[in-house]
Amino acid sequence: MLEAFGISDPGCVRPNNEDCYLLSPDKGLYVVADGMGGAQAGEHASKLAVDTLADVLGKAGEGTAEALAQAFQEANERVMSAASKDANLEGMGTTLVAVLDTMPEVLIASVGDSRAYVYDGEGLIAITEDQTWVNEVGRRLGIDEVSLRSHPMRHVLTMAIGVSPELRVHSYALQPKSGAQILLCSDGLHGVVEDDVIAETLSGSGTLESKCRDLIQAARDAGGPDNITAVLLQAH
């Protein structure tokens, strides 16, 4: 069983919030999406992707890695289809990271650079791998971390929902200890708040809500250049 809390904040710079999240304990589904696109397109893409996951997995009636991956494929198709029918939505896309509770195992899937972390009292571990130019190209070229943090390609995704029919979904399985916390977040959080600050926040004795609010505030204190979303789960 997973206890959950989530919160999203536009940050300090963006006028609107293109992030979207879902807490659906009845389906055992928890999702974060970070939309992109002009005008309201990013908001549309992230909500459509999140709603599609809930719809497809609700109808699937089974919590499997295959069902989760198929739901991601369906989200990709629906976002692409919506964009093709409305010029105002052309070019929209979204990251997507999801947890499916099949305790004692937790299934995780991701596309883009929204992340899943686990904190079990011994440290913060990133479960997902960013599908970004920095991670998949820059590091392989041997560019040092300091240079990558200011590289002009640092925000470029190599994969997103709604961009290409050929979708690469990263899938993971985790067996969290009782008390372990799983954090899903957009890059408005992990891109500006250092891992040690995130770990210190999760190590506290506060509620999931207070920890999420502290994480959002930490991102805002760091300038809040992007929308910020945090969903925090705890295994029992």
Residue 105 vs residues 29, 35, 127, 136: alpha-carbon distances, Å: 13, 28, 14, 28
More confident residue, 201 or 138: 201
Distance CA 99, CA 33 (A): 12
pLDDT tens-digit readout, 12-48: 999 999 999 999 999 999 999 999 986 679 999 999 9
Q: Mean pLDDT, the chain, as a whole number?
A: 93
User: Which pLDDT score, from 0 to 100, does residue 153 have?
Assistant: 74
* pLDDT more than 70, % of the chain: 98
pTM: 0.94
Query: How confident is the model at residue 28, as a pLDDT?
Result: 95
Question: What's the CA gap between 116 and 193, in Å, rounded?
Answer: 15
DSSP assignments along the chain, one per residue? -EEEEEEEE-TTT-SS--EEEEEETTTTEEEEEEEESTTTHHHHHHHHHHHHHHHHHHHH----HHHHHHHHHHHHHHHHHHHHH-GGGTT-EE-EEEEEEETTEEEEEEESS-EEEEE-SS-EEE-S---BHIIIIITTTT--HHHHHT-TTTT-BS--BTT-SS---EEEEE-PPTT-EEEEE-HHHHTTS-HHHHHHHHHSSS-HHHHHHHHHHHHHHTT--S-EEEEEEEE-
Alpha-carbon distances, residue 91 vs 14, 185, 199 (angstroms): 19, 23, 36
The count of other CB atoms within 10 Å of the CB of residue 173 is 12
Low-confidence winner among 75-79, 140-144, 145-149 (lowest mean pLDDT): 145-149
- pLDDT for the residue 218: 98
pLDDT, average across residues 143-170? 84
Residue 3's pLDDT is 96
- What residue ranges define each of the domains in the chain, with the CATH number in brackets? 2-235 (3.60.40.10)
Q: What is the pLDDT of residue 152?
A: 73
What is the mean pLDDT of the segment spanning 204-229?
Answer: 97
Confidence of residue 148 (pLDDT cuts 50, 70, 90): low
